[in-house]
């Protein structure tokens, strides 16, 4: 193992409230009915921004939606919570000279914003956002781009995600996957179990 690729939301941080608040502000701004948390999870959570915009904001210019969405998200960054084991895991991987990449369906600048708010940004060797590829997860584009940029082979990487979109992307890219709460090549129930699998295993 030379590198670990991470999804961001639900894996390293809990930014649900930040995204949920921002999406409802967007719905209100465009005169649409606001969603419950259950509706948000079903309709938008973990999906590429462009897909959500195309389905629920038809006829509205994408640039206007993105400008409002990401502009307001900045104000909600304080709602981001870091999973306690995340800094410890990333620090341990860094000590072992394991390359760390974050691949998120969020736009690159928003992924950076969230990671900086969580004080995890400095651990990352590479960040790939959804706006840097033609298709976000579940397509493999982001993982393949990360492999190319880092000059890594598929068998040198483990990808960790918490949704079926992540696992599908990882499998399509040909890398080993660990699902948090979902079944990948391996499964963990939380990031603490991921730490045990990656950092406490016998040499």
Statement to judge: residues 70 and 88 lie in one domain: no
Considering the domain architecture, whether residues 123 and 47 belong to the same structural domain is answered as: no
**Cβ atoms within 10 Å of 148's Cβ, excluding its own:** 9
Examine the domain organization and report whether 32 and 87 are in the same domain: no
Strands 157-161 and 3-6: parallel
Query: 177 and 193: one domain?
Result: yes
pLDDT tens track for 133-191: 999 999 999 999 999 999 999 999 999 999 999 999 999 999 999 999 999 999 999 99
Residues 134 and 194 occupy one common structural domain = yes
pLDDT (average), residues 55-59: 90
What predicted TM-score, i.e. pTM, was given to this entire model? 0.84
Same domain, 126 and 52: no
Both 74 and 95 in one domain: the answer is: no
Q: Are residues 120 and 166 in the same domain?
A: yes
Task: Tell me how far apart the alpha carbons of residues 57 and 35 are, in angstroms, rounded to a whole number.
Answer: 14
Are the C-beta atoms of 147 and 154 separated by less than 8 Å? Answer: yes
For every residue of 59-74, DSSP letters joined together read TS-HHHHHHHHHHHHH
Look at the chain and report how many structural domains it folds into: 2
Quick: pLDDT tens for 145-156.
999 999 999 999
Domain housing 164: 3-14+82-199
Residues ≥6 apart with Cβ < 8 Å to 70: 107, 109, 110
């Amino acid at each position: 193992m030379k590198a670990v690729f991470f999804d961001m939301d639900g894996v390293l941080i809990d930014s649900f409230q930040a995204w949920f608040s921002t999406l409802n502000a967007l719905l209100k701004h465009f005169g649409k009915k606001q969603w419950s948390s259950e509706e948000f999870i079903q309709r938008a959570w973990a999906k590429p921004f462009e897909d959500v915009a195309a389905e629920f904001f038809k006829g509205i210019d994408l640039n206007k939606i993105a400008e409002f969405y990401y502009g307001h998200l900045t104000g909600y960054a304080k709602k981001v919570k870091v999973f306690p084991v995340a800094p410890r895991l990333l620090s341990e991987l860094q000590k072992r000279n394991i390359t760390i990449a974050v691949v998120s369906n969020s736009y690159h600048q928003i992924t950076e914003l969230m990671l900086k708010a969580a004080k995890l940004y400095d651990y990352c060797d590479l960040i790939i956002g959804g706006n840097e590829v033609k298709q976000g997860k579940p397509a493999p584009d982001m993982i393949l781009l990360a492999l190319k940029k880092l000059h890594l082979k598929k068998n040198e990487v483990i990808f960790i995600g918490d949704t079926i979109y992540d696992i599908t992307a990882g499998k399509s890219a040909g890398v080993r996957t660990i699902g948090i709460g979902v079944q990948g090549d391996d499964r963990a129930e939380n990031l603490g179990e991921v730490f045990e699998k990656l950092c406490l295993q016998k040499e």
